[in-house]
Amino acid sequence: MRKQKFNTIKCPQCGREYLPAEIYVPFAFFGKPKRIVRDIDQSILDHEGSNMDLKERYICDSCNTTFDVIANISFKTRVNEKYNFAKDYQTKIKPSITMPENWWWFLKFEKLILK
């Protein structure tokens, strides 16, 4: 079995590895903003609620050493051309069944059969 590479946090004393979810609480880590106020350029001016909390103090489960963890995160963005609905696009529809010009005769015939 191939060993997977995980994004881990190590105890500085004994080297025990932790997954970030074992140490950080998701709502505390990302914050919980409410009522976000933006200007006309869509830049954030203010918000209510909590900010991101990138610092955490943890006690190692193996050696009981208290250590601080500080997260450094960054976000990258790019336009997804396949799903960019801001541009004109065409939807491909599967070929449908075409009715003959005298299709209404078929409907009359069908009514006669069903009676």
Q: How far is CA 27 from CA 32, 33, 99, in A?
A: 6, 10, 57
- What is residue 106's predicted lDDT score, i.e. its pLDDT? 60
Supply the pTM of this predicted model. 0.57
Regions in the chain scoring below 50 on pLDDT: none
What is the per-residue pLDDT across 50-71, written as a single tens digit (0 to 9) for each? 888 889 999 999 999 999 999 8
Q: How far apart are the first and last CA of the chain?
A: 68
Q: In the block, which residue shows the tokens 């006309």?
A: 40
pLDDT of residue 103: 60
Region of 83 please: left (phi>0), alpha (psi -120 to 50) or beta: alpha
Task: Please tell me the predicted confidence (pLDDT) of residue 32.
Answer: 86
The domain segmentation of the chain, as residue ranges, is 7-73
